[in-house]
Amino acid sequence: MTTRSARASRASAAALLLGALFAPTAQAQELEPRAYSNLPMGLNFLALGYAHSKGGMSTDPSLPLTDAHLQIDTGVVAYVRAVDFWGRSGKFDVIAPYSHLSGTALVAGQPRERAVSGPSDPRFRLSVNFYGAPALTLDEYPAYKQDLVVGASVQVTPPWGQYDASKAVNLGTNR
């Protein structure tokens, strides 16, 4: 076994062991493809998206909501800026969704119907690559060959979306 493959095997075993130890307390995450890819510094991106969901939904277990049959259509506008963090690449994202929700459910055993449109909760995310993705200019970027990248991000989702305290189903999460 070569030295490089021995190190990779030890690193894999250590990651597996840590995963097993912390699995009971681990939290789920959202990870989009290429979230930590290197980008040329100073670039700005505008993204538009659309999502359609239909059927049952998972809700807060404390809500007296059962048998939900909902349809949610969401449009998203996002702004992304590539930034330089002391020689490491990173990015800042602002994600603003607008949704339309309609459907039926049982609330405390009583049938209810709801149709609502409005903003959902926005997201603000700051990502930094700690290893393997240096901050590059647009001229340096074509020669860069990506390998292992280690990064982290912090996302804040303020409860600013549409919310009506008298309703069990809302677009925002302000509780």
Q: Are 44 and 92 in contact (CB under 8 A)?
A: no
Segment holding 7, helix H or strand E: helix 3-22
Between 115 and 146, whose confidence is greater?
115
Q: Higher model confidence: residue 57 or residue 41?
A: 41
Question: Is 82 in contact with 39 (CB distance < 8 Å)?
Answer: yes
pLDDT average, residue stretch 40-53 = 93
Does the pTM exceed 0.75? no
Q: What is the pLDDT of residues 147-174, one digit of tens each?
A: 888 888 999 999 999 888 888 778 888 7
- Sorted by where each begins, the domain ranges of the chain are 29-156
pLDDT value of residue 2: 57
- What is the rounded average pLDDT of the residues 32-59? 85
